[in-house]
Amino acid sequence: MAYDPDNIFAKILRGEIPCDKVYEDDHVLAFNDINPLAPSHVLVIPKEAYVSMDDFTQNAPDAAISALFRAVGQIARDLGLAGAGYRILANTGEEGGQEVPHLHIHIFGGRPLGPMLSKGAG
């Protein structure tokens, strides 16, 4: 799938629409999900244009991959989630349920999350 520069997260990165920012560094932006599914629900995205986890893990340089995952851990600690625990999720592609075609890692926490999150039955 080609990267769509008009996707909503690309617009957030360009400052064309606002976000509720929780973290930013040279490689990464993180913001609260507009429709939270847990008391803490943050989306962590690379600043570079990657459609999905598949695209990112094939094409991103090691420094970008390292930066994204280190940021996820740092944000979870900053949110106070590391002690009680949290969940990360990257919906990938059509069958993975990905809605926005710019790689994003969800961080969920702040309550017991159960064995899995489910929007629909498996």
Q: Smaller CB distance to ligand AMP: residue 40 or 98?
A: 98
CA proximity to 86, closest of 95, 101, 76, 78: 76
Classified as helix, coil or strand, 21 is strand
* Distance in angstroms (rounded) separating the CA atoms of residues 72 and 107: 8
Q: CB atoms < 10 A from the CB of 55, how many?
A: 19
Look-up: residue for tokens 């999900």? 33
* 60 sits near ligand AMP (criterion: CB under 6 A): no
* 118 sits near ligand AMP (criterion: CB under 6 A): no
Stretch that binds ligand AMP, among 26-34, 48-56, 58-66, 80-88 (CB under 6 A): 26-34
Q: Smaller CB distance to ligand AMP: residue 65 or 100?
A: 100
**Judged by CB under 6 A, which of 48, 87, 91, 110 binds ligand AMP?**
91
* 74 sits near ligand AMP (criterion: CB under 6 A): no
* Distance in angstroms (rounded) separating the CA atoms of residues 98 and 116: 17
* 49 sits near ligand AMP (criterion: CB under 6 A): no
Measured CA to CA in angstroms, residue 119 lies from 13, 37, 66, 116 at distances of 27, 10, 30, 10
The size of the interface with ligand AMP (CB under 6 A), counted in residues, is: 12
* 34 sits near ligand AMP (criterion: CB under 6 A): yes
| Chain residues in the site for ligand AMP (CB under 6 A) | 8, 19, 31, 33-35, 43, 91, 97-100
